[in-house]
Amino acid sequence: MQRLAVFLAALWWGGLSALSFLAVPTLFAQLGAPLAGPVAAKLFSLQSWAGIGIGLALLLVLRRQRAAAQFPQAAAAPGPEHLAPMQRVLGTMGFVLAAMLLALLQEFGVAEKIVTARATGGNLQLWHGLGTVMVLGQWLCSGATLWRLSR
C-alpha cells in the first residue's frame, strides 16, 4: 500500500508540474491568449478533477495506514512511540485534504469567475491571480504529500 500511495502522490504532483510549468506556458507561447485561454481552462479543469480523484484514493490508502499505526498488532501495550507514525499519517492527510479543497475552490469558484470576467470585462487579473495561487497551493500540498510518503 505504501508504494501505491507514493505512486499516486507522484502522479498528482507530476501532473500539476507538467501542466502548470510546461504545457500551459507552451500553449500560450505557441497559440497566443485568445486561442490558448479556453484550452488551458479545460486542462486545468481536468487536472482539478484528477486531483480530487487521486486525493480520494490517497485518503483511502492513508486511512489504512492510520489504522495500522493506531492498532499495531505486534505491541501488547502501545506506548508514546506509537503516536509518531499516526501523527505523520494525519499530517499527510491534512496536505491531501488542503490540496483537494483548493482544487474544488478553483473548479467551482475561481474558474467560473475567470470566464465571467472575460465575458463581462470584470477583474480578470484578480481572478487569474487567485487561480494561480490556488494551483500553486495544490502543487505545494501534493509535493509535501509526496515528500512525506517517500521517506
What angle (nearest 5°) sits at the alpha carbon of residue 135, between those of residues 91 and 95?
A: 5
- Which of 148, 61, 48 has the alpha carbon at shortest distance from 99? 48
* pLDDT higher than 90, residue 69: no
* pLDDT higher than 60, residue 76: no
d(CA 30, CA 124): 22
- Kindly give the residue spans of alpha helices, DSSP state H, lying in the chain: 2-18, 24-31, 33-70, 83-105, 111-120, 124-149
Q: Using 50, 70 and 90 to split pLDDT, how confident is the model at 121?
A: confident
| Bigger pLDDT: 67 vs 117 | 117
Tally of structural domains, the chain: 1
What are the pLDDT digits (tens) for 85-114? 778 888 999 999 999 999 999 999 999 998
Angle at which helices 83-105 and 124-149 cross, to 10°: 160
* pLDDT higher than 50, residue 116: yes
Mean pLDDT confidence for 127-142 = 96
Cα–chain center distance at 64: 20
- What pLDDT, on the 0 to 100 scale, is given for residue 72? 56
With a pLDDT cut of 90, the percent of the chain lying above it is 68
Mean pLDDT over each residue of the chain, to the nearest integer:
89
What are the pLDDT digits (tens) for 3-28? 999 999 999 999 999 999 999 999 99
Residue 14 to residues 37, 41, 89, 97, 126, Cα–Cα distance (Å) = 22, 18, 21, 18, 27
Domain residues for 44? Answer: 2-149
- What pLDDT, on the 0 to 100 scale, is given for residue 73? 59
